[in-house]
């Protein structure tokens, strides 16, 4: 089976590729020659995942899954949420996003947060959604070199390290994306 994962993010692609069974050939947007910046115009994480999966299937003809992820911080009334990737502006810099979030969290005692990932699968005219959530907290400073996005400032509940300090195998086991991917993989295994 061949599937396109609607991403240009090489780190995210690598994480997901490690989770998939070997009989699934995974392609990125770069692999299929899609250099488009797929618009994320929905006001929900689910909506953005659906837009991206549909875009690839409708315009390139491939079975596709796409994800969208949001970081919701309790003290900021759920922000950055659906705007997580462009929280500090349209340049989409992870460093700028983290710096803005840390500045806004200055002096906050409630640092509770959660990551949510929704994966939208568009396969043989079927559209299915899978969700994963992980609880944690925002740290006071960046720690770790691994991962991407907000990983250096997010510490999952029950751990003393940020996502950026954990090994990729541990992160895949407990993360929001890992949980949503497990649901997707189980779904694909049951297709015959």
Catalytic residues: 68
Determine the straight-line distance between the first and last CA of the chain, rounded to whole angstroms.
Answer: 11
- Cα 82 to Cα 134: distance, rounded to the nearest angstrom: 16
DSSP secondary structure string for all residues of 123-149: ETTEEEEEEEEEEEEE-SS---SSSST
Long-range contacts of 156-161 (CB under 8 A, 24+ apart): none
- Cα 44 to Cα 48: distance, rounded to the nearest angstrom: 6
- Cα 4 to Cα 163: distance, rounded to the nearest angstrom: 26
Q: How far is CA 16 from CA 9, 87, 181, in A?
A: 11, 24, 8
CB 152 within 8 A of CB 141: no
Number of CB atoms found within 10 A of residue 126's CB: 10
Structure token pair of residue 70? 């949001």
């Amino acid at each position: 089976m061949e599937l396109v994962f609607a991403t240009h993010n090489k780190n995210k692609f690598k994480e997901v590729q490690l989770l998939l069974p070997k009989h699934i050939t995974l392609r990125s947007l770069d692999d299929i020659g899609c250099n488009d910046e797929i618009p994320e115009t929905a006001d929900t994480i689910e909506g953005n995942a659906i837009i991206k999966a549909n875009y690839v299937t409708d315009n390139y003809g491939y079975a596709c899954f796409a994800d969208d992820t949001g970081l919701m911080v309790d003290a900021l009334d759920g922000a950055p949420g659906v705007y997580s990737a462009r929280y500090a502006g349209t340049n989409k810099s992870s460093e700028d996003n983290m710096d803005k979030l840390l500045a806004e969290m200055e002096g906050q005692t409630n640092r509770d947060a959660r990551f949510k990932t929704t994966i939208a699968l568009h396969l043989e005219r079927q559209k299915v959604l899978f969700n994963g959530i992980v609880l944690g907290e925002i740290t006071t400073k960046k720690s770790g070199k691994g991962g991407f996005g907000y990983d250096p400032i997010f510490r999952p509940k029950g751990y003393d390290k940020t996502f950026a300090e954990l090994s990729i195998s541990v992160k895949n086991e407990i993360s929001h994306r890992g949980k949503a991917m497990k649901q997707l993989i189980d779904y694909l295994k049951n297709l015959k």
